[in-house]
Amino acid sequence: MSLLVVGTVAFDAIETPFGKTDKILGGAATYIGMSASYFTNNINLVSVVGSDFPQENIDIITSHNINLDGMQIIEGQKTFFWAGKYHIDMNSRDTLATELNVLADFNPVVPESYKDCQFLMLGNLTPMVQQQVINQLPNRPKLIVMDTMNFWMDIALEDLLKTISMVDVLTINDEEARQLSGEYSLVKAAQKILTMGPKYLIIKKGEHGALLFDKDNVFFAPALPLEEVFDPTGAGDTFAGGFIGYLAKTNDISFENMKRAIIFGSAMASFTVEKFGTEKLHGLSKEEINNRIAEFVSLVQFDINLQ
């Protein structure tokens, strides 16, 4: 099934306790697309970069069978740039720079050839931009997944709530779920958010795993305990890419299949954090992914016979 990914393609400069990078390939759509590419080959991307975006980065993305017809290249302007520094616990970070550049006036245009998309993944972006993409599609996709962040809750709540009401699956982290719902308990937060439109909610808890809720069910996937988290950048987007990539591959949006999709998303994210940026996500083998899934199975499966 065809998958449309909308989001940033960017430069990141990352500093962690283990080292730092110059401007490297980043952006939500990059991680989502590359992660999804391990499950489906029919991926179309809508994004925007500047004329400073090098051919070698384009080559990396297209080597994952990701169609870039919908990625605008704005002459004479610069690509979105983010710089951040992680603290020793790797769960908190300081933003050192955010240069919107081409993102400031981003007007997404969905090419004709993309418009039959069955699965739509809206990476974190201005809620109004996410909405514009949905509105350009002549037929509603089978599943729309949307990522967002607290920033839009602070400055564009009304737009955000409108966009949320149009999607099937919302992915946010635990603090964002609390902020959006006004509830501290994640169970109560989920119940409230599920009245805002989405049928499914994924609450990402970083190193503590992820929760999937629908009205009647809850599923928990742990994060794999790793010896070293080298760079968490892109972990959430990689997770989302594995999730929707697996759903697009299997074309099954039941709760049972979403559980599997979340395990695949978690497995993909566990690779991303092992190296800087997209480095580890580029060039994984099927065997590596299957071995990682087997680790998840062994991590959580148990066998109890109740008496």
Are 79 and 101 contacting, i.e. CB atoms less than 8 angstroms apart? yes
The neighbour count for residue 89, using CB atoms within 10 Å, is 10
Closest CA to 48 of 124, 105, 99: 105
Supply the minimum distance, in Å, between the C-beta of residue 284 and a second copy: 15
The Cα–Cα gap between 86 and 49 comes to 25
Does residue 298 touch a second copy according to CB under 8 A?
A: yes
| Residue among 196 and 293 whose Cβ is closer to a second copy | 293
- Provide the minimum distance between the beta carbon of 50 and a second copy in the complex, in angstroms, as a whole number: 38
If binding means CB under 8 A, how many residues of this protein chain bind a second copy?
A: 39
Options 51, 208, 252, 283; binder of a second copy; rule CB under 8 A: 208
Per CB under 8 A, the list member of 22, 76, 88, 107 interacting with a second copy is 88
Q: If binding is defined by CB under 8 A, does position 216 make contact with a second copy? A: no
Residue 211 engages a second copy in binding (rule: CB under 8 A) = yes
Q: Is 227 in the site for a second copy (CB under 8 A)?
A: yes
Please give the structure tokens belonging to residue 305. 């016979």
Out of 187, 215, 254, 283, the residue judged to bind a second copy by CB under 8 A: 187
**Least spacing, CB of residue 48 vs a second copy, in Å:** 36
Q: Is 155 in the site for a second copy (CB under 8 A)?
A: no
Of the candidate residues 89, 94, 105, 252, the single one contacting a second copy (CB under 8 A): 89
Which residue, among 238, 271, 242, 307, has the nearest Cα to 27 in the 3D structure? 238
Among 93, 199, 260, 275, binds a second copy (CB under 8 A): 260
Position 166 contacts a second copy (CB under 8 A) = no
- List alpha helices for 142-234, DSSP H: 150-155, 157-164, 174-181, 186-193
Answer yes or no whether residue 256 interacts with a second copy by CB under 8 A.
yes
Contact between 268 and a second copy by CB under 8 A: the answer reads no
Is 154 a residue that touches a second copy (CB under 8 A)? no
Given 62, 65, 165, 185, the residue binding a second copy (CB under 8 A): 185
Phi, psi angles (nearest 5°) of residue 123:
-65, 165
3-state secondary structure of 235: helix
CB nearer a second copy, residue 84 or residue 222: 222
Instruction: Assess 97 for contact with a second copy (CB under 8 A).
Output: no
Q: Does the footprint of a second copy cover residue 13 (CB under 8 A)?
A: no
Q: Write 157-163 long-range contacts (CB < 8 A, 24+).
A: 159/126, 159/127, 159/128, 159/131, 160/127, 161/196, 162/127, 162/131, 163/122, 163/127, 163/128, 163/130, 163/131, 163/134
Q: Does 285 bind a second copy (CB under 8 A)?
A: no
Token pair, residue 190, equals: 């989920």
- Using CB under 8 A as the binding rule, whether residue 157 contacts a second copy is answered as no
- State both tokens at 260: 């599997």
Distance CA 98, CA 12 (A): 10
User: What does the alpha-carbon distance between residue 13 and residue 241 come to, in Å, rounded to a whole number?
Assistant: 22
Q: How many CB atoms lie within 10 A of CB 245?
A: 28
Q: By the criterion CB under 8 A, which residues form the site for a second copy? A: 88-89, 184-188, 205, 208-209, 211, 217-222, 225-229, 256, 259-260, 263, 290, 293-294, 297-304, 306-307
